[in-house]
Amino acid sequence: KQEVTQIPAALSVPEGENLVLNCSFTDSAIYNLQWFRQDPGKGLTSLLLIQSSQREQTSGRLNASLDKSSGRSTLYIAASQPGDSATYLCAVRPSGTGGFKTIFGAGTRLFVKA
């Protein structure tokens, strides 16, 4: 059964710091991995999607990598800002279930101090 784990559960950093959020998954048979941001009381916003054949994706200050063989992904945030404070979730779409079911991690709660 696919499981997704995110470490750390919470992180507090000063503004301007570069940081890395980690995601691991137990089964490498995936269609893709997606990183989301969730603000308190709101829905999830898609940040980056990495297809199973890709190694990384970049958007602005965000860079996500994928190592399928080791079951790991990282989300790198450069020059963090207070507006980056949110919960970040990673999710994998297993290829064995017809692609319908997306499995989510519990998230990393990030706080960027001004």
Provide, rounded to whole angstroms, the least separation between the CB of residue 45 and other proteins.
7
Single-letter code of the amino acid located at 10: A
Provide, rounded to whole angstroms, the least separation between the CB of residue 107 and other proteins.
7
- Distance (Å, whole) CA 4 – CA 103: 7
In the chain, DSSP assigns E strands to 4-7, 10-14, 19-25, 30-38, 44-51, 56-59, 62-67, 72-77, 86-94, 103-104, 108-113
Considering CB under 8 A, how many residues would be counted as binding other proteins?
A: 26
15-23, 42-50, 58-66, 68-76 -> range binding other proteins (CB under 8 A) = 42-50
Q: Is residue 44 a contact residue for other proteins (CB under 8 A)? A: yes
Q: Is residue 91 a contact residue for other proteins (CB under 8 A)? A: yes
Provide, rounded to whole angstroms, the least separation between the CB of residue 16 and other proteins.
30
Tokens standing for residue 63: 């860079």
Provide, rounded to whole angstroms, the least separation between the CB of residue 93 and other proteins.
8
Q: Is residue 42 a contact residue for other proteins (CB under 8 A)? A: yes
